[in-house]
């Protein structure tokens, strides 16, 4: 039998009961129809230390905002920090709540204002490096989120009311300058902007408004939809090229009109389409601590990623390809990162448990060379046989790795799993990347696997490890029943 190509798999999509394709810390990249295989797999970027946040009560990062590429603000535990381009952090004051911190800036010059509103009702303003607590009329309710458009801060309340500040003055609110999101009696849990739209999100509906300059209240409702937001901190903006078109969209864990979880949704015009897999839907549905669900976006070598994380999982959606993959860190099940922000030409990442920021990088070199370890299974991953580890890494041309005498499989076929050590370097610690292929079979016949070939790609910027692989093939034969 001639050497046969094996599908690399391009996404994580395990089904119930059987083990299927899984990518951990790998993502797929389209390398074109003129190659032996259309897809290559590459390890995600790693990260190095950037800043240790400060102040009594600092802890897990609850929100970040890039002011002007010279100053980054972060809410860490119950403190507000200011971080400069060198990573030096300055404690600016307290924010004594525990909810997610939404942050927005207006266009005031010379000193733009930043508004911080926590999901559990605390608000602060920052202007010229000074933190203040705005004092509004007693008729103004407690807010649960903030966004900004055309110089206005837009502030939502759980009642469904949403208010606007004066233009470029976050300290000024007229108590009669508000609208009511009332297409569905579900209140409001999040306000967010997309292009010229202000979106007021409830758990069962989305309402879209635009600034028409009307005299009584400048924003008028354009339309609404019966898709809601299941968990407000999962709702984030994403700008990416998808299907050859530049799009400004929003992704979120969504609900149907009856409030039941519908999946991870992407706005498409004034509607939404589902992008999550059944496996991700089950992970979100079964999340024991719903308040821990968070999401953010980042860019990895030109691939725009939407990352959603819970207490026991982290999944990333690659907007360039439409595929999901898993993220994990050494010693914990989910990824150690819970937030990201582009700042001063790099991506800043926030730790899930500590007052620590990192900077993403594709040029971090590990202390030791990588290996790739093979496991193979004849029963869809219920039991495994391990083979010897092979050394990989180095710069220059690709390297072909071989394993011999892999035995026979029954009609269900054989699943291969390859683990790359030190594939991702997270602040000095080497983290594995894993690829589990779809089953290889000639149903309903048995197969014999004589040799497996893995084509590993080297990366010149990462001098002692491999970055991914392009081709997987085997030499074997079909056995008669």
pLDDT tens-place string over residues 13-62: 876 656 678 999 999 988 877 777 788 888 899 999 999 999 988 999 99
Mean pLDDT over each residue of the chain, to the nearest integer: 90
- For 153-177, letters b (16+ CB in 10 Å) and e give bbbbbbebbbbbbeebbbbebeeeb
Q: Could you give the CA distance from residue 243 to residue 453 in angstroms, rounded to a whole number?
A: 33
Longest Cα pair distance anywhere in the chain, in angstroms? Answer: 83
- For 222-261, letters b (16+ CB in 10 Å) and e give eebbebbbbbbbbbbbbebeeeeeeeebbbbbbbeeeeee
Element containing residue 405 per DSSP (H, E):
strand 399-409
Which of 187, 104, 186, 185 shows the shortest CA–CA distance to 142? 187
The segment with the largest mean pLDDT, out of 327-336, 362-371, 429-438, is 327-336
- Residue 453: other Cβ atoms inside 10 A: 16
**Does residue 220 surpass a pLDDT of 50?**
yes
345: tokens are 């030409």
pLDDT tens-place string over residues 244-283: 777 899 999 999 999 999 999 999 999 999 999 999 999 9
* Residue 443, Cβ density class (10 Å: 0-12 exposed, 13-18 middle, ≥19 buried): exposed
pLDDT tens-place string over residues 461-478: 344 444 666 678 888 888
- Give the CATH fold of the 47-361 domain: Methylamine Dehydrogenase; Chain H (2.130.10)
- β-pairing, 61-66 with 219-225? unpaired
DSSP 8-state code for residue 45: P
479: tokens are 């056995």
Query: What is the structure's pLDDT at 456?
Result: 82
Average pLDDT rounded to a whole number, residues 62-67 = 97
pLDDT tens-place string over residues 373-385: 999 999 888 899 9
**CA distance readout (Å), 183 to 173, 190, 201, 423:** 24, 15, 11, 49
Beta strands in 212-260 (DSSP E): 219-225, 228-229, 236-242, 245-255
The segment with the largest mean pLDDT, out of 176-180, 193-197, 442-446, is 193-197
- Say if residues 434 and 393 touch (Cβ distance below 8 Å): no
Please, which pLDDT band fits residue 311 given cuts at 50, 70 and 90? very high
Return the minimum-mean-pLDDT range out of 102-116, 208-222, 280-294, 393-407.
Answer: 393-407
pLDDT tens-place string over residues 388-437: 898 876 555 577 889 999 998 888 889 999 998 888 889 989 899 999 98
Return the minimum-mean-pLDDT range out of 67-76, 109-118, 389-398.
Answer: 389-398
354: tokens are 């500590």
Query: What is the structure's pLDDT at 460?
Result: 35
Query: What is the structure's pLDDT at 463?
Result: 44
Query: What is the structure's pLDDT at 396?
Result: 52
- Residue 302: other Cβ atoms inside 10 A: 9
Between residues 140 and 3, the one the model is more confident about? 140
**Does residue 457 surpass a pLDDT of 80?**
no
Strand, helix or coil for residue 281: helix
Average pLDDT rounded to a whole number, residues 149-157 = 97
Residue span(s) of the chain under CATH 2.130.10.10 come to: 47-361
């Amino acid at each position: 039998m001639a050497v046969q190509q094996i599908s690399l798999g391009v996404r994580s999509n395990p089904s119930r009961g059987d083990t299927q394709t899984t990518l951990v810390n790998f993502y797929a990249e389209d390398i074109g129809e003129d190659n032996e295989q259309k897809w290559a797999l590459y390890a995600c970027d790693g990260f190095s230390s950037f800043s240790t946040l400060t102040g009594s009560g600092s802890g897990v990062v609850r929100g970040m905002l890039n002011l002007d590429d010279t100053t980054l603000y972060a809410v860490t535990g119950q403190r507000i920090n200011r971080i400069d381009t060198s990573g030096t952090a300055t404690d600016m004051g307290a924010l004594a709540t525990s909810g997610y911190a939404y942050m927005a800036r207006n266009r005031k010059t010379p000193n733009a204002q930043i508004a911080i509103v926590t999901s559990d009702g605390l608000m602060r303003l920052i202007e010229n490096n000074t933190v203040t607590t705005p004092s509004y009329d007693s008729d103004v309710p407690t807010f649960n989120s903030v966004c900004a458009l055309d110089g206005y801060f837009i502030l939502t309340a759980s009642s469904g009311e949403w208010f606007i500040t004066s233009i470029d003055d976050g300290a000024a609110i007229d108590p009669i300058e508000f609208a009511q999101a009332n297409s569905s009696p579900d209140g409001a849990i999040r306000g967010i902007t997309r292009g010229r739209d202000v979106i007021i999100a409830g758990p069962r509906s989305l309402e879209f408004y635009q600034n028409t300059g009307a005299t009584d209240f400048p924003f008028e409702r354009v339309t609404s939809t019966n898709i809601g937001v299941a968990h407000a901190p999962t709702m984030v903006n994403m700008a990416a090229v998808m299907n050859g078109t530049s799009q400004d969209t929003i992704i979120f864990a969504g609900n149907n009109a009856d409030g039941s979880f519908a999946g991870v949704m992407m706005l498409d015009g004034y509607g939404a389409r589902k992008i999550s897999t059944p496996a991700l839907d089950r992970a979100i549905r079964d999340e024991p601590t719903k308040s821990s669900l968070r999401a953010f976006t980042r860019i990895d070598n030109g691939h725009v990623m939407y990352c959603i994380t819970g207490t026991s999982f982290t999944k990333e959606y690659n907007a360039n390809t439409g595929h999901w993959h898993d993220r994990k860190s050494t010693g914990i099940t989910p990824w150690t990162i819970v937030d990201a922000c582009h700042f001063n030409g790099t991506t800043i990442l926030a730790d899930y448990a500590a007052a620590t920021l990192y900077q993403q990088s594709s040029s971090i070199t590990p202390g030791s060379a990588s290996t790739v370890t093979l496991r193979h299974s004849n029963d869809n991953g219920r039991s495994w046989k391990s083979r010897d580890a092979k050394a990989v890494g180095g710069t220059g041309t690709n390297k072909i790795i071989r394993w011999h005498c892999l035995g026979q499989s029954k009609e269900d076929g054989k699943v291969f799993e390859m683990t790359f050590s030190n594939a991702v370097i997270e602040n000095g610690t080497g983290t594995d990347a894993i690829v589990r292929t779809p089953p290889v079979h000639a149903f309903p016949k048995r197969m014999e696997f004589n040799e497996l070939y893995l084509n590993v790609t080297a990366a010149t910027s990462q001098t002692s490890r491999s970055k991914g692989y392009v081709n997987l093939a085997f030499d074997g034969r079909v056995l008669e029943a």
